[in-house]
Amino acid sequence: MISNQEKKIKDIIDKINYHNDLYYNKDNPEISDAEYDLLISEFKKIQKNIPNLKDADNPLMNIGGRSSDEFTKFNHPTRMLSLDNAMTNEDIENFIKKIIRFLSLKDTNIPFSIEPKIDGLSVNLVYEDGQLKVAATRGDGLNGEIITNNVFTIKEIPQKLRVKFPPKKLEIRGEIFITKKDFLDLNERSKNQFANPRNAAAGSLRQLDVKITASRPLKFIAHGFGIYEEGKKTYYDQMKELKTWGIPISPYLKVANGIDDLIKNYNYINDKRSEIPYDIDGLVYKVNDTLYQSRLGTVGKTPRWAIAHKFASETARTSIKKIDIQIGRTGSVTPVARLESINIGGVLVSNATLHNFEEIEKKRHKRR
């Protein structure tokens, strides 16, 4: 038995999916933009009442794309790893100590590469004799989905490496993303109401119709390797070489020695975070020496030689346009501030629930 509310939600989701399909896949819309916008705003209103709605069932997450099972699966030649997270300087100290112990080193100041951790989508690019043969999503790290034709539309990713004698086989890992500015423009010019740049990048990439991908401002930055025969001695040198072959690498890539240097860089980038054109949620430190990397190896899905040093969640300042009073089903009164939209950590924030009078009273009493 489904409730009236659930039926209403299901109906509206079905309706949006139906019109999305007509608009994006069949190029044959039946309703005007204004009618469609009304439908979306109706859905957004009730969306708050469905906290368990999965991304896969959310029509705003799937705009313009048919379901993922239409992509061919790809078994990555080498596993795509993920990273352990460090939240504090102490976590970083422990990470370094473990490495030094594992390698039985006397010198504790070993070099680490530093790069921002981009909040995008991880992809694997398989080059054979310098030609891009397969591009695949990360998936579960072992198996992803083939998106080669979509990746061919990203200008920043060369189909042929600019090198005379390329490695026979090379797997380049990196992040596909959309800049904060491009995300705002994209949301403005299209009917797509993506929640954040990462969603916009995901929705743009996994398209059966590559024309849609081609029209989206997708960018790429490499951050590692799978198979890499004839690799260089340090990660930094490998990345610099990639750059000469036409692969974009992080402009913030550098090498630091020891914990103090890492923390100094962390604080510096954290302060500059809002100036960086794309969303980042921390820094990634990697043991720079690739021989040490292979000696350190992996534990399950994560390497011993790398870690993500996460930033605290972002705060931002904006102005209140007006305050509406929302009456809940139980009669509860909640003031809601309508804000000048602002991008905080990749999420476009336009509303903020304020404390209601009861809550303010409670806080007042607590303070006494």
Shortest distance, CB of residue 198 to ligand IVH, whole angstroms? 10
Residue 213 to residue 252: CA distance in whole angstroms: 27
CB-nearer residue toward ligand IVH: 76 or 138: 138
Question: Should residue 47 be labelled a site residue for ligand IVH when binding is judged by CB under 6 A?
Answer: no
- Tokens 């010019």, residue? 189
Stretch that binds ligand IVH, among 52-60, 71-79, 112-120, 182-190 (CB under 6 A): 112-120
- Listed residue (155, 137, 153) closest to 145, CA to CA: 137
H-type helices in the chain, by residue range? Answer: 4-20, 33-47, 89-103, 148-151, 180-189, 197-205, 210-214, 235-244, 258-272, 290-296, 357-367
Question: Should residue 172 be labelled a site residue for ligand IVH when binding is judged by CB under 6 A?
Answer: no
Single out the catalytic residue among 48, 54, 98, 117. Answer: 117
- Listed residue (254, 274, 250) closest to 262, CA to CA: 254
H-helix or E-strand containing 124? Answer: strand 121-128
Stretch that binds ligand IVH, among 30-38, 81-89, 99-107, 195-203 (CB under 6 A): 81-89
Question: Should residue 306 be labelled a site residue for ligand IVH when binding is judged by CB under 6 A?
Answer: yes
Question: Should residue 223 be labelled a site residue for ligand IVH when binding is judged by CB under 6 A?
Answer: yes
Stretch that binds ligand IVH, among 61-69, 78-86, 207-215, 310-318 (CB under 6 A): 78-86
- Listed residue (108, 112, 123, 121) closest to 86, CA to CA: 112
CB-nearer residue toward ligand IVH: 138 or 206: 138
Per-residue contact flags (x/-) with ligand IVH for residues 265 to 284, judged by CB under 6 A:
-------------------x
**272 part of the active site:** no
Question: Should residue 175 be labelled a site residue for ligand IVH when binding is judged by CB under 6 A?
Answer: yes
Q: What share of the chain is helix, strand, coil (3-state, %, to 5)?
A: 35, 30, 35
CB-nearer residue toward ligand IVH: 113 or 207: 113
CB-nearer residue toward ligand IVH: 115 or 289: 115
Structure token digits, residue 263:
């923390």
- Listed residue (330, 334, 363) closest to 351, CA to CA: 334
Structure token digits, residue 267:
């604080």
Question: Should residue 125 be labelled a site residue for ligand IVH when binding is judged by CB under 6 A?
Answer: no
Q: Which of 16, 118, 132, 256 binds ligand IVH (CB under 6 A)?
A: 118
# residues contacting ligand IVH (CB under 6 A): 14
Structure token digits, residue 212:
């849609």
Residue numbers at the binding site for ligand IVH (CB under 6 A):
81-83, 115, 117-118, 122, 138, 175, 223-224, 284, 303, 306
Q: Which residues are catalytic?
A: 117
